[in-house]
Amino acid sequence: MPIVVVANPKGGVGKSTLSTNVAGYFASQGHTVMLGDVDRQQSSALWLKLRPAAARPIHTWDISHDLIARPPKEATHVVLDTPAGLHGWRFKDVLKLANKVIVPLQPSIFDIYATRAFLDELAETRQASKLEVGIVGMRVSPRTIAADKLAEFVGGLGLPVLGYLRDTQNYIHLAARGLTLFDVAPGRVEKDLVQWQGICQWLDR
């Protein structure tokens, strides 16, 4: 069972946006998907309540900030949205569950260095286990100085940049309806789906 954890100790970097769209991608492939939310804000849990009955199903299970429970066996693909400030035993418990970790990272110098210790720990865990770790640049255009600086920084840690997601209202409008890029006609979100190609290939690997 692939278990994908979306994590960054800094708040406001796009964890819930990534988590819901990863779950939406898995659901679009016909998988039995569970989306867990251990963030106290419960953004992903709220999104699930907004999801229309006609959309491909994405399920949840009883999980809390203080109890990182294993997902039910009937799930084939699991996505876990985590809180800001994730560290200590909660962080280690989450990593024990995970096959893959995606770190959303904005390309500002403040965000990069606020995440440095977390990325160092992930890089060490990755070397000591089969855990796969990937970075996604959030609200940034490729082929910009900001994107180059982000790639240079994480490249020094030996972590791949899976893709760069532009700053667009598409994510906001879709989230308000409990939907993802993968729930609407591709022509409506063509530019965004192109940016997701590398991420989806990594998820499927």
Cα 48 to Cα 50: distance, rounded to the nearest angstrom: 5
C-alpha torsion sign, points 150, 106, 83, 50: negative
Total domains, the chain: 1
What pLDDT, on a 0 to 100 scale, did the predictor assign at position 148? 83
Cα 63 to Cα 144: distance, rounded to the nearest angstrom: 40
Provide mean pLDDT across the span 37-43: 78
Whole domain around residue 200: which residue ranges?
3-204
User: Who wins on pLDDT, 158 or 30?
Assistant: 30
Angle between helices 190-204 and 15-28 (to 10 degrees): 80
What pLDDT, on a 0 to 100 scale, did the predictor assign at position 131? 86
- Whether 68 has a pLDDT exceeding 70, the answer reads no
Angle between helices 43-50 and 15-28 (to 10 degrees): 40
Provide the edge-to-edge strand list for the sheet that holds 58-59. Answer: 58-59, 33-37, 77-81, 3-6, 100-105, 132-138, 161-165
- CATH number assigned to the domain comprising residue 79: 3.40.50.300
In 84-198, DSSP assigns E strands to 100-105, 132-138, 161-165
- Whether 142 has a pLDDT exceeding 90, the answer reads no
Three-state SS for 183-197 is HCCHHHHHHHHHHHH
- Model confidence pTM above 0.95: no
Element (H, E) at 72: none
